[in-house]
Amino acid sequence: MPRLRLALAQLDPTVGDLAGNVARLIDAYDRAEEAGCDLVAFPELSITGYPPEDLVLKPRFVADNVAAMQQVAAHTRRCAAVVGYVASDRDLYNAAAVCAGGQVLGTYRKRLLPNYGVFDEARYFTPGAGSDPLELYVIGGVKVGISICEDVWSPTGPLAEQAAGGAEVNININGSPFHHGKLATRERMLATRAADAHCALVYVNQVGGQDELVFDGGSMVFDAEGELVARAAQFVEELLIVDLEIEPVYRTRLLDPRGRRTDHEIVTVEVSDRSVSAEEPRRPARLAEPLSADAEIYQAIVLATRDYCAKNGFADVVIGLSGGVDSTLVACVAVDALGAEHVHGVSMPSRYSSDGSKDDARELAEALGIEYRTIAIEPAFAAFLEMTAPSFDGRPADLTEENLQSRIRGTTLMALSNKFGWMVLTTGNKSEVAVGYYTLYGDSVGGYAVIKDVFKTKVYDLCRYVNATAGRELISEAVITKPPSAELRPDQRDDQSLPPYEVLDPILALYVEDDRTTAEIIALGHDEATVKRVTRLVDVMEYKRRQSPLGVRLTPKAFGRDRRLPITNGYR
């Protein structure tokens, strides 16, 4: 029985860093070759990083990416490599090169281009023609087909056609972004595809953060019965090596009532005749445990924050610590992402800041071991009040004075950023971002919105997860249980301006993530007046969201590239 030794190179490329990505690929290739692998597969567009977006509109970039792919190909020896890159002909293609012996032996062009949600591949690429001959690569004596990401999501896509043409294994390379629950969705779909095609399926995904997107890895191998054989960990780089036994499946295919004929021309490319691992003891398969729901979200935020800072040249971050639950969670994420020595907390009390909040901020900084300073904003606030008094004469204090405090804090954080080169991390959650419960040019200023896609109720869950993981009360129970407040006026609480978060968040999830109408949400049992108020707030605050910093996408529909509504919009 043939055995194929496969390496799944779950890497964290950087978009546009062609030289750095090539170095990463070559290092992983050398480790796979040393381990006696027959084939190593790299993620989708691993040469350019995914997604390269409008970089591919630059002819020089496309030419340099082809040259970079050729550099990887020239480095190959017996172990075959499947390398994702941008192929150019009359058009551009999302492609995979099959390389061995120092050459490119064939190229597969992605057939199904996603153009929904965060994907807009049809803007850049032409799909591979369905009339092209099917290329199967004989690697270690096994017939191997290639596909790219979306190709495998269709039950009638290239995998089915390749299997009908005799493929025994399909290598599916991916740049599949994370959202909560997606690992389980992928696993169900991939198991079904493998079993339906009677073809072993190797799914390779990248890890790492890229602007709003974060990739979770979770690369997997399924046998021809659809059974999960191996799985890499989430959110870490890994070279997963798997010995895959290839059993004859022609009997199963011949008895399949759907039939297994194909009208495609089959082209077979000989790469290597016999698996080098066939005579060795079989390696035990690694089957990494999936993360819990809270662990998955938290690790996604940490990785996205780490990569956004590192890939954009920021070693340190600064956070306004209010003593509230949001800034507390962001500080914990920053420490796990960058290390305590690279995180700077700033308390900026005003005349309305409570002693309890100031104490909570200081105690958190001490527990985390981060640098902590206090910059009271009262002198600046008093000066603004005096400066604007003639213009505001006769008008009572209102939201204007509250927002002044927030804007002074934002200016203070940006001054520290400019002086020391620290990136400002904003602390607004998805509930606040949805209804505009933040100050434009105030607490919205910064470089990265860490919890922009985390509802307030989930913030509390993640704080408790942090404590459970630390094995101690890193975040004080007082911070978790006290009523949330912006502390911009005496005795202020969030629930004076908004419905309680346990009421607000389910409505927001239905309206923002599920695209339910106001009438549908009311019909589900939510209070009519509350629903109408909340949905109107979401609609009219689009202009504020568009001016806010980007943040990591964690749900199937986040504010940003997922949800694109016009600001000037008369439809309600």
CATH number at residue 401: 3.40.50.620
- Whether 517 maps to a domain, the answer reads no
Give how far the C-alpha of residue 392 lies from the chain's centroid of Cα atoms, to the nearest Å: 46
245/326 same-domain check: no
Q: State what percent of residues in the chain have pLDDT above 70.
A: 94
3-state secondary structure of 317: strand
Q: Could you say which of 471, 491, 511 is where a domain stops?
A: 491
> Residue 259 pLDDT > 80, yes or no?
no
Is residue 19 predicted with pLDDT exceeding 90? yes
Give the model confidence (pLDDT) of 296-312 as tens digits.
Answer: 999 999 999 999 999 99
For residues 59 and 158, membership in a common domain is answered with: yes
The catalytically annotated residue of 33, 37, 99, 110 is: 110
**Residues 493 and 439 sit within 8 Å (Cβ to Cβ):** no
Burial code of 481-492, b = ≥16 C-beta within 10 A, e = fewer?
Answer: ebebbbbbbeee
Give the mean pLDDT of 510-516: 94
Task: Compute the average pLDDT of residues 412-437.
Answer: 95
Q: Is residue 501 part of a domain?
A: no
The Cα-based distances of 31 to 7, 36, 218 in angstroms read 9, 9, 20
Higher local confidence (pLDDT), 563 or 411: 411
Q: How would you list the strands of the sheet with 200-205, edge to edge?
A: 228-231, 220-222, 200-205, 169-174, 142-148, 134-139, 266-270
Is pLDDT at 190 greater than 90 in this prediction? yes
Specify if 549 maps to a domain: no
Longest dimension (CA), the chain: 91
Quick one: CA dihedral 98, 102, 104, 110, positive or negative?
positive
What domain range is 112 assigned to? 3-270
Per-residue pLDDT reduced to its tens digit, 162-188: 998 899 999 999 999 999 999 999 999
The dihedrals phi and psi of 345, each to the nearest 5 degrees, come to: -100, 140
Per the annotation, the verdict on 332 as an active-site residue is no
Task: Give yes or no: residues 400 and 311 share one domain.
Answer: yes
Residue 342 and residue 244 share a domain: no
Residues 424 and 477 placed together within one structural domain of the fold: yes
Q: Point out the domain boundary residue: 270, 304, 334.
A: 270
pLDDT at 475 over 60: yes
Average pLDDT in the 85-100 region?
Answer: 95
Mean pLDDT in residue range 76-85: 96
pTM of the full structure: 0.92
Q: Could you tell me if 108 and 30 lie in one domain?
A: yes
Retrieve residue 267's tokens.
């082209």
What is the number of domains present in the chain?
2
Q: What is the pLDDT of residue 492?
A: 66
263: pLDDT strictly greater than 60: yes
Cα 483–Cα 489–Cα 490 angle in degrees, nearest 5: 70
- Of 235, 214, 233, residue with least CA distance to 453: 214
Q: What is the mean pLDDT of residues 540-565?
A: 90
Q: How confident is the model at residue 90 (pLDDT cuts 50, 70, 90)?
A: confident
33, 44, 487, 513: the active-site residue: 44
In a domain, 285, yes or no: no
Q: 172 and 39, same structural domain? A: yes
The predicted pLDDT at position 253 comes to: 54
Average the pLDDT over each of 221-225, 358-362, 409-413, 519-523 and give the range with the smallest value.
358-362
- Is 44 noted as a catalytic residue in this protein? yes
pLDDT mean over 353-360: 79
Least Cα distance to 360 among 498, 275, 473, 459 occurs for 473
Q: Per-residue pLDDT averaged across 501-523, rounded?
A: 95
Q: How confident is the model at residue 483 (pLDDT cuts 50, 70, 90)?
A: confident
- The single residue of 37, 99, 149, 309 carrying the catalytic annotation is 149
pLDDT at 454 over 90: yes
pLDDT of 563 strictly over 90: no
| Residue 149 designated active-site | yes
Query: Does residue 226 form part of some domain?
Result: yes
Tell me the CATH number at 121. 3.60.110.10
154 with 205, same domain? yes
Instruction: Specify if 67 maps to a domain.
Output: yes
Classify residue 275: in a domain, yes or no: no
Bigger pLDDT: 119 or 17? 17
Mean pLDDT of the chain: 91
pLDDT score recorded for residue 257: 53
Q: 9 and 218 in contact (C-beta within 8 Å)?
A: no
- Domain boundary among the residues 437, 468, 491 is at 491
In this predicted structure, which of 120-124, 181-185, 265-269, 461-465 has the lowest mean pLDDT?
A: 265-269
